[in-house]
Amino acid sequence: METKLLWEKEDVFDLFVASHPRGDVLQTTKWGKLKAHSGWTYWPLAATKNGIIQGVALILTKKLPLGATLGYSPRGPLFSSREVLEVLLLAGARLLKKENALVWKMDPPILDGDELWTDCVQKSRLRFVDTGLDFAGVQPRCVMTLNLSTSTDTLLKNMKNKTRYNIGYAQRKGVQIIRARERKLLNVFYFLLQETAIRDGFIIRPLDYYEAMWDHLVENNLAQLFLAYHDNTPLAGAICFRLPHRVWYVYGASSNEKRNLQASHLIQWEMIRWAKSLGSRVYDFRGVSGDLEEDNPLYGLYRFKEGFGAKLEIYVGEFDLPIQQGGYVLWQGGLAIHNWMRRRARPGSK
């Protein structure tokens, strides 16, 4: 088995990602091109046997202070066997060592308890990163997924009564959902996103990031923007990512106006119907807190997604492969300080 960077065969790399049962848009070279707009470099590493790809790892690298580098494989690596994973880890570590990386971070979408992954962790230098039950990780460990193998009528029947009622209410009140086909409609979504960020107290990326997302993902059928209107007033917006087997709800926004019309429920239902029409097997609502106590401030997010019939899945979580032992220790210390400062900056923190 050999490893190589598929710079000149990126379509082949992306085809493997799209066909892998755990493939994710975040492992495609198109995602790498998008991240290049914010200072990352991408490396499409593949393990091949007799010219056939057996596994891949899209590795993103970014410069840190003092000439060091961070390595990260979002929702990767992707592999077909223990042997392939071990080959990818060795090759990726060699690559990152040349790039003066301190660590290679990864968070594969593998269900918690997977024996192959557990065995590999025990035999390698991979270190589990405890990010807690909420959203301290780079990617969510706890996600809500909806199986699309049943009919749309059955999907509706399996929803909570209140969710089904809200969808019908929005329809009766004349809320309309469109699939955006023009890049300029990103301005509408971004306005809604700004309104949401002010209301809920979080920081958003600049508009040009979403414009790059349109250019690299939407234009390549890897993402879709949806907008909800009532009497020409935009009420909600959402961006989905897509591969043949799965659709992910990634970004959402809503207006402060006419919230009683339940546009956010209807836009989800239309995205679910769209995913099913594509032949996708799963609609992924993405993250929720792993703490399902009703007094958790994030419980409402779980309740909203559960209302559509989605089920909780827990992944193995976030792992680090140290590249430079001494540098990795310094990285951990600096990251702890960064996370502490970020928590202090949150609205309502003391």
Averaged pLDDT, groups of 10, the chain, 350 residues long:
96 98 98 97 97 97 92 97 96 97 96 94 91 85 97 98 98 98 98 96 94 98 98 97 98 96 98 98 96 92 97 96 82 60 44
What is the rounded CA–CA span in Å between residue 199 and residue 259?
13
Nearest partner of 265 among 162, 195, 181, judged by Cα: 162
Q: Is residue 136 part of a domain?
A: no
Q: Is residue 137 part of a domain?
A: no
Cβ atoms of 137 and 131 within 8 Å: the answer is yes
What is the reported pLDDT for 216? 98
Tokens of 221: 């059928």
What is the reported pLDDT for 66? 81
Look up the domain containing 195 and give its range: 142-314
What is the reported pLDDT for 335? 66
Q: How high does pLDDT run on average in the chain?
A: 93
Which CATH number do you get for residue 237? 3.40.630.30
What is the reported pLDDT for 134? 82
Together in a domain, 154 and 271? yes
Together in a domain, 153 and 63? no
What is the reported pLDDT for 133? 82
Together in a domain, 23 and 99? yes
Q: Is residue 269 part of a domain?
A: yes
What is the rounded CA–CA span in Å between residue 188 and residue 226?
11
Together in a domain, 29 and 112? yes
What is the rounded CA–CA span in Å between residue 176 and residue 169?
12
What is the reported pLDDT for 350? 32
Count CA within 13 A, CB hemisphere, residue 244. Answer: 8
Cβ atoms of 274 and 247 within 8 Å: the answer is yes
Q: Is residue 166 part of a domain?
A: yes
**348 Cβ neighbours under 8 A, 6+ residues apart:** 201
Together in a domain, 91 and 162? no
Together in a domain, 126 and 34? yes
Together in a domain, 204 and 290? yes
CA angle 220, 44, 219 (to 5 degrees): 10
Q: Is residue 116 part of a domain?
A: yes
Together in a domain, 248 and 238? yes
Count CA within 13 A, CB hemisphere, residue 288. Answer: 24
**349 Cβ neighbours under 8 A, 6+ residues apart:** 343
Q: What is the pTM of this model?
A: 0.94
How many domains is the chain built from? 2
Q: Is residue 331 part of a domain?
A: yes
Per-position DSSP letters for 26-56, written without gaps between them: GGSHHHHHHHGGGT-EEEEEEEEETTEEEEE
Together in a domain, 209 and 296? yes
What is the reported pLDDT for 339? 54
Together in a domain, 248 and 302? yes
Cβ atoms of 149 and 245 within 8 Å: the answer is no
Q: Is 172 helix (H, G, I), strand (E, B) or coil?
A: helix
Tokens of 165: 């009622």
Nearest partner of 317 among 118, 173, 69, judged by Cα: 118
Express the helix, strand and coil content of the chain in percent, nearest 5 each: 45, 25, 30
Q: Is residue 285 part of a domain?
A: yes
Together in a domain, 61 and 14? yes
Q: Is 58 helix (H, G, I), strand (E, B) or coil?
A: strand
Residue 235 phi, psi (nearest 5): -110, -30
Q: Is residue 261 part of a domain?
A: yes
What is the reported pLDDT for 124? 87
Together in a domain, 16 and 82? yes
